[in-house]
A and B are shown apart, each in its own frame.
Chain A
Amino acid sequence: MLTPPLTSNQAVLHLEGVSLGYGDFTVLQDISLEVMPGQVVAMMGGSGSGKTTLLRAATGQLAARRGTITLFGQDLARTNRPGLQALRQRMGVLFQQGALFTDLNVFENVAFPLREHLTMSASQLSERVLEKLNAVGLRAAAHLKVSEISGGMARRVALARAVVLEPELVLYDEPFAGLDPISLGITARLIRSLSDRLGCASVVITHDIAESFAIADQVYLVGQGQLKAHGAPATLAASTDPYVQQFLNGQADGPVAFDYPVTPAFEAWLVQTGART
């Protein structure tokens, strides 16, 4: 099933007044954002601020409670399952831990989307897979098993897998988390260069300020269930909003409180254990 290609001024991903949550719990409210083709957009926020929830909404795994999510010009709420599958083939996702298939080796992992969705000759497939592995510097690791490579390498393999279908949008879930300085630099540069080379849009979900500011065109900052700020990195750095300031400068206390709030349950427990307040 073919979906119409985007015109160059149409947003790849567009969220308008979106509210997201699980069960009774609302994680994010009234979020609006836009990702244009070829852009690198950074989505930032503290832990538990709902960044992964946004990712799931963008892939169609989570439905919006309010507002519209438009992916490649299609309203996700109005798209049926086959339509959703077709849209998903135009995007790639890099999961935090790589999410490589443990029963396949490196080559087979990267070849997986090709085998599932396209019919290619063995030599064409091999060429494409090795080309993508080469782009992440792991061409010579193609024969290794997933258990034989380090975490950083696994993430790079996952990146190769995410782009092997040459998608129009790539989502990165915390690609910088837990990496050493060298790998950090490599990963950031890979994201930017892939984006430029493939002409795809990239959405990077992270809380790493230095690396993301270095490569992003637009930054969205979420906190306390809302969109706190957005704009080019320079704009945000110059912002006077207290939340933005606390986040960017890594201050211990501010709008995000240091002390965990006291609740009636805590008071009851204190009384029960006979501890003195």
Chain B
Amino acid sequence: MSRPSFLSALGQSVRARLTGLGLFTRFFLMLLQRSGLVFKRPRLVSQQVHFIGNFSLLIIIVSGLFVGFVLGLQGYYTLNRYGSEEALGLLVALSLTRELGPVVTALLFAGRAGTSLTAEIGLMKAGEQLAAMEVMAVDPLTRVFVPRFWGGVIAMPILAAVFSTVGILGGWVVGVLLIGIDTGAFWSQMQNGVDVYKDILNGVIKSIIFGVAVTLIALYEGWRARPTPEGVARATTRTVVTSSLAVLGLDFLLTALMFSH
């Protein structure tokens, strides 16, 4: 049997990816279709908000704090060369609310919550739990996937807001307490420069979109995982890689859309 030519292998790969994308879209639509559950059984959703959101709080707060510290240090170093140290508050706040808050939170979320979702569902698949549900006349997509999807979408913006807040406070600690910038200038320059609609609201919109993307990818990979140990391991890796790339790609698109004139 001759080895397939490079062209046919490429064609097959493209076809496979397109089919995967189509399946992914269909999965998303199926979840949306079944989302009435959110109102019929809100407890399921709130339980997932707890598992996804609360369990990610620690890493988000610690990371936000350190990112704020670094922004304070690096920002001061750069602004100092132009004699504009007093704009540090503005620099830290804009960097966080517009970019770092949504993006870094989404990447951390993909690593912590995304992988845990994929692994949980993959293991449920391997343990025949999803099949058991189907046979009990309970649709697993509705009962298992929809609450997790909305739990993730609700948790992400909250985590991003917490990240930005903690980061700004971290920047304040470094800038004002450690370096000695005037606290009044720190806050007033920030308040004058950060717009609620253009900067903060856009950041929130970004984090909602990232939440949809990351949670959807995590659930999809779990749904498609092979019900074996390596299958689950591969699926969790794919979740992290695909979500991270999706977040960065979407960030570019959204930034271009939102912040250009």
Contacts and interface: CB of A to CB of B under 8 A. Distances in A.
Q: Determine direct contact between A and B, CB below 8 Å.
A: yes
Interface of A: 59, 61, 84-86, 88-89, 91, 93, 95-97, 99-103, 112-113, 116-117
A95 B124 CA distance: 13
B256 interface: no
B131 interface: yes
20 contacts: A59-B135, A61-B134, A61-B135, A85-B137, A86-B137, A88-B135, A89-B137, A93-B135, A95-B128, A95-B131, A95-B132, A99-B129, A99-B132, A100-B129, A101-B124, A102-B123, A102-B124, A113-B136, A116-B138, A117-B137
Contacts of A113: 136, 138
A49 B26 CA distance: 35
Interface in B105-128: 120, 123-124, 127-128
Contact of B132 (A91, A93, A103, A117): A93
Contacts of B136: 88-89, 93, 112-113, 116
Interface of B: 120, 123-124, 127-129, 131-132, 134-138, 143
B210 to A, nearest CB: 26
A96 B123 CA distance: 15
A14 to B, nearest CB: 19
A102 B127 CA distance: 9
B146 to A, nearest CB: 14
Contacts of B137: 84-86, 88-89, 116-117
Given A85-B137, A88-B137, A113-B136, A97 B131 contact: no
A91 B138 CA distance: 13
B127 A97 contact: yes
* B134, B136, B143: residue with the most chain A Cβ atoms closer than 10 Å: B136
A1 to B, nearest CB: 11
Q: Top 5 A-B pairs ranked by shortest CB distance?
A: A99-B132, A88-B137, A99-B128, A85-B137, A93-B135
Contacts, number: 45
B129 A102 contact: yes
B131 A99 contact: yes
B128 A97 contact: yes
Nearest to A171: B135
Contacts of A100: 129
Contacts of A88: 135-137
Contacts of A86: 137
Given A84-B137, A101-B132, A116-B143, 8 more contacts: A61-B135, A86-B137, A97-B127, A97-B128, A99-B132, A101-B129, A102-B123, A113-B138
A112 B138 CA distance: 10
A27 to B, nearest CB: 17
B121 to A, nearest CB: 11
B138 to A, nearest CB: 5
A89 B129 CA distance: 17
A146 to B, nearest CB: 10
B123 to A, nearest CB: 7
Nearest to B138: A116
A61 B124 CA distance: 18
A91 B132 CA distance: 12
Contacts of B135: 59, 61, 88, 91, 93
Nearest to B132: A99
A102 B124 CA distance: 8
A117 to B, nearest CB: 7
A88 B133 CA distance: 10
Nearest to A103: B120
B233 to A, nearest CB: 18
Contacts of B131: 61, 95, 99
Contacts of A102: 123-124, 127, 129
Contacts of A91: 135
Contacts of A99: 127-129, 131-132
* B123, B131, B134, B135: residue with the most chain A Cβ atoms closer than 10 Å: B135
Contacts of B129: 99-102
Contacts of B143: 116
Nearest to A93: B135
A59 B143 CA distance: 19
Contacts of A89: 136-137
Contacts of A116: 136-138, 143
Contacts of A112: 136, 138
A99 B128 CA distance: 5
Nearest to A88: B137
Contacts of A97: 127-128
Contacts of B120: 103
